[in-house]
Amino acid sequence: MVNIELEKMLFDNGCKTIIGFDEAGRGPLAGPIVCGYVFLTPEELNNNLDLVPHINDSKKLTHNKRKELSDEIKKRFKSGISMIDNVQIDKLGIQTANVKIVERVIYNHVPDIDYAIIDYIGGFSKYFDLDFKNYETIVDGDAKHFLIAAASIIAKVYRDEYMEDLAKKYPEYSFDIHKGYGTKNHIESIKKFGMCDIHRKSFIHFLE
């Protein structure tokens, strides 16, 4: 389970508002990459300690538990979603796209945040263009720290529901089942029907 030691240390060091980031959808062959973010103040942390034991890396939670916790997180904390679609992923590359969605949120909220903690993105500083230095990227941050794990939950729930909605428009691909990941069923559908508008061409060019 995650802990709140990093968040407490940041507050003890004078931070008033911190923000945690995590993404969902780096690996799929279709759909957007979605970044969840959650803001936290010392008062909010102290008033919501009951929630901490229930928060974990979204991948370790059941679908129903993720949904329940996502609703609770959004009710208790200021949070949001940033998203980049498959067209921009093909244009920028997944690494740059991942950084850009974090950058976009930070740009829109500086100077309201004192520090950002981000689930690890390799080479983040290489692609990060803003003059904002108060951040760190953390390997497996969603499995260690409350704020990143909370962001991972809202990102995962949002993206899954987004892909379920797209399944109604593109029923032949069963996006509601695999959420765009490269399952055997999904690859067979691409071979049969070709790529649709939401496929990442840079990810599946080998099928052309």
pLDDT in tens, 131-185: 999 999 999 999 999 999 999 999 999 999 999 999 999 999 999 999 999 999 9
pLDDT at 208: 58
Can you name the residues that pair with 129 across neighbouring β-strands? none
pLDDT at 46: 96
Stretch 26-32: mean pLDDT:
97
What secondary structure letter does DSSP report for 16? Answer: S
Whether pLDDT at 206 is above 70: no
Can you name the residues that pair with 205 across neighbouring β-strands? none
Domain ranges of the chain: 5-161
Share of the chain above pLDDT 70, in %: 99
Per-residue confidence at 81, pLDDT binned at 50, 70, 90? very high
> 3-state SS of 63-92?
HHHHHHHHHHHHHHCCEEEEEECHHHHHHH
Q: Torsion angle, CA of 92/57/115/105, rounded to 10 degrees?
A: 40
pLDDT at 204: 85
- pTM to 2 decimals? 0.95
| Angle (nearest 5°) at CA 45 between 8 and 161 | 115
The dotted CATH code for 5-161 is 3.30.420.10
Among 25, 6, 19, CA closest to 105 = 19
CA 76 to chain centre: 18
